[in-house]
Amino acid sequence: MAARIPAEERLTNLVVALMATEIGLTKAQILASVSGYRQRSNSRQDALEKMFERDKDDLRALGIPIETLGDHADPNDLREARYRIPKAEYDLPVDIEFTSAELAVLRLAGSVWSEESLSGDAQAGVRKIRALGIDVDEPIIGFAPRITARDAAFAPLQDAIERSVAVSFDYLKPGEQAPRRRHVQPLALVEYEARWHVFGRDVDADGDRMFLLTRIVGDVAVTGESFPAELREGAGERALASLEAVASAHSALLEVTPGTEAALRLGRRAQPAVQGIRLPYVDLHILADELASYGPEVRVVDPDQLRAAVIERLAAVTAVHAMNQNGGA
């Protein structure tokens, strides 16, 4: 039996395939040629099609523009729709110029990627598309990076979501001395404020909960307990709406030194205020960690609890630094 292709690899292969041709691919061609779908040829056709629809939604949620092309004679006829990712959507505007320093950074970032980073399955999928008689544009940039900063819990959680099976993991909340075991039916993985969360039903609490992946301690155990796949429908949208509701209810007033890294990073997420910027946030402790990392570039005006948390972190760093200096004297 062919090995199961991880969801993130299947999405990568789908992106490569949809960027490989200008005229697009039909759903049947995608399911037959793209690695991650063709290995499941023995699955029910409607299950494969639902997987493809979810993948399209996931990619669009990440900002990847997937076009749906109808019949040439009747664009509204989508019975034999073709799908593609227009490369023009990724082209930089012609009026953008880079300094030598910026180009150096781009070259450094580009060294992480190469033609060789394109996975073998993705290359095989492109060859299969060529075999269908569809022109493939060259070159195709590799979409599989050589490095990754994704949380270790991501892959097993994504697999559990796809299979609709429950998981268990140890979760450490701020202020608790030891992690607690959680039993969860995972429904969606969502990224918010550059951090990954898993949204699902907490079996013990009998309610929906959100968990930050960075607070999962140790390995995620995938159980054999299944749950109805229908529970996943709309879960991503509900999760994002929940996070946005929390963020809209909490905000911090910050004074930030202009021209600093803090001003650049925080300014993208904040609104101007009479005294500095107003920054919405989901988790006070996570934000305190971030603000403390900027050192003197940021001052918290309110809320008091956040200011105290940042001061506590800065004091801890100062204490460690002083101890290291005394120890080395």
Domains contained in the chain, CATH given = 7-131 (no CATH), 154-233 (2.30.30), 250-328 (no CATH)
**pLDDT at position 140:** 41
Alpha-carbon span 29 to 27, nearest angstrom: 5
Name the packing angle between helices 120-131 and 7-19 (round to 10°): 40
Q: Is the pTM of this model over 0.75?
A: no
At residue 92, the pLDDT reads 58
* Per-residue pLDDT at 268: 83
Indicate the pLDDT class of residue 79, thresholds 50, 70 and 90: low
pLDDT score of 123 more than 80? no
Joined together, the tokens standing for residue 201 give 């039903």
pLDDT for the residue 208 = 92
**CA 60 – CA 42 distance, rounded (Å):** 27
Do 149 and 169 contact (CB within 8 A), yes or no? no
Average pLDDT over residues 105-109: 57
Place of tokens 């880079």: 98
What is the DSSP code string of 128-169? HHHHTT----S-----S-S-----TTHHHHHHHHHHTEEEEE
Give per-residue pLDDT as tens, 213-241: 989 999 999 988 999 988 888 888 888 88
pLDDT in tens, 87-105: 666 555 666 666 666 666 6
